[in-house]
Amino acid sequence: MTDLQDLQGLQGRKEELATNLGTVEERISAACATAGRKREDVTLIVVTKTYPASDVRLLAELGVRHVAENRDQDAAPKAADCADLPLTWHFVGQLQTNKVRSVVSYADLVQSVDRAKLVTALSKEAVRAERELGCLLQVALDAEDDGRGERGGIGPGAVEELAARVAEAPGLRLDGLMTVAPLTGAYGGRQQAAFERLMDLSTVLRAAHPAANMVSAGMSSDLEQAVAAGATHVRVGTAVLGVRPGLG
Ligand SMILES: *Cc1c(COP(=O)(O)O)cnc(C)c1O
């Protein structure tokens, strides 16, 4: 490709992303209006997983300030490429402790905190890097109260104890709760009920930890239900960037 073709390709992609962002923005605004909430009470996080750093750069030019990734292997080089941009990086994937040092080097928040061992590792690396890392506990609403979700996350009964661990851990800041609507189980197909359950858990959490007021819920297909339930952050990938090739 010539430089000119490159430039035209980027311009086309930017227009596409701008259109998609506009549509998502309208959906969030409409959902806020329906719920009687202020638009600024909901933050859009664009999930850029599987898409290149060039897209992250275009999104930043279009005013996006929060991006999320779910695999360290992809996220680390992308974040390095985009280190000059005014972005907050969220890590939302299942996290192995051997990836923690890398993730802590670029992530501002980890939304998928789901076990004590991970809290210990995140704390150690945040202290080492002299960073304060925001932490959300990932709640699996399809798990038994004290169980675990198939794709990570703690059962609702484990929130209080893990929250206390994060709150006490040096280098970590307890910011709130995150969930992915379950496909199966009691909440399968009932996204709004799932998100309302997460809100109830958030209310209990905030009684003990008032600053932990983030509620991250809702994706491309169910952001309206999340806003209706009271989510403060929605995580949108496909509706902004397009359908991901393969699993992501
Ligand atoms: C991929 C992903 C999203 C975004 O999903 P879309 O359906 O593409 O909007 C949100 N949250 C998590 C944890 C994800 O892994």
Query: What's the pLDDT band for 245 if we cut at 50, 70, 90?
Result: confident
Q: Which of 74, 80, 136, 66 is nearest to 99 (CA)?
A: 74
> Where in the chain are the domains?
2-241
Identify the pLDDT of residue 2: 76
- The pLDDT tens digits for 55-69 are 999 999 999 999 999
- Separation of 187 CA from ligand 1 center, angstroms? 18
- Separation of 191 CA from ligand 1 center, angstroms? 14
- Separation of 83 CA from ligand 1 center, angstroms? 23
Mutate to test the pocket of ligand 1, among 66, 69, 70 (most ligand atoms within 8 A of CB): 70
Closest ligand 1 atom number to CA of residue 112: 13
Backbone angles phi, psi at 95, to 5 degrees: -120, 120
Mutate to test the pocket of ligand 1, among 44, 69, 92, 223 (most ligand atoms within 8 A of CB): 92
Say which CATH topology domain 2-241 has: TIM Barrel (3.20.20)
Reply yes or no on whether the pLDDT at 218 is more than 90.
Answer: yes
Reply yes or no on whether the pLDDT at 1 is more than 70.
Answer: no
- Separation of 70 CA from ligand 1 center, angstroms? 9
Identify the pLDDT of residue 106: 98
Give the whole-angstrom CA distance, residue 225 versus residue 161: 28
Q: Model's pTM, two decimal places?
A: 0.96
Mutate to test the pocket of ligand 1, among 23, 27, 44, 47 (most ligand atoms within 8 A of CB): 47
Query: What's the pLDDT band for 3 if we cut at 50, 70, 90?
Result: confident
Closest ligand 1 atom number to CA of residue 244: 8
Identify the pLDDT of residue 247: 56
- The pLDDT tens digits for 127-172 are 999 999 999 999 999 988 888 888 889 999 999 999 999 999 999 9
Rounded to an integer, the average pLDDT of 217-239 is 98
Identify the pLDDT of residue 199: 98
Query: What's the pLDDT band for 212 if we cut at 50, 70, 90?
Result: very high
Closest ligand 1 atom number to CA of residue 221: 7
Closest ligand 1 atom number to CA of residue 236: 9
Q: Which residue has the higher pLDDT, 149 or 193?
A: 193
Identify the pLDDT of residue 68: 98
- The pLDDT tens digits for 78-130 are 999 999 999 999 999 999 999 999 999 999 999 999 999 999 999 999 999 99
Identify the pLDDT of residue 150: 81
Which amino acids bring their CB within 6 angstroms of ligand 1? Answer: 47, 49, 70, 92, 180, 219-221, 235-239
- Separation of 5 CA from ligand 1 center, angstroms? 31
Reply yes or no on whether the pLDDT at 248 is more than 70.
Answer: no
Query: What's the pLDDT band for 217 if we cut at 50, 70, 90?
Result: very high
- Separation of 116 CA from ligand 1 center, angstroms? 24
- Separation of 3 CA from ligand 1 center, angstroms? 33
Query: What's the pLDDT band for 209 if we cut at 50, 70, 90?
Result: very high
- Of 29-33, 187-191, 225-229, least confident by mean pLDDT is 187-191
- Separation of 109 CA from ligand 1 center, angstroms? 16
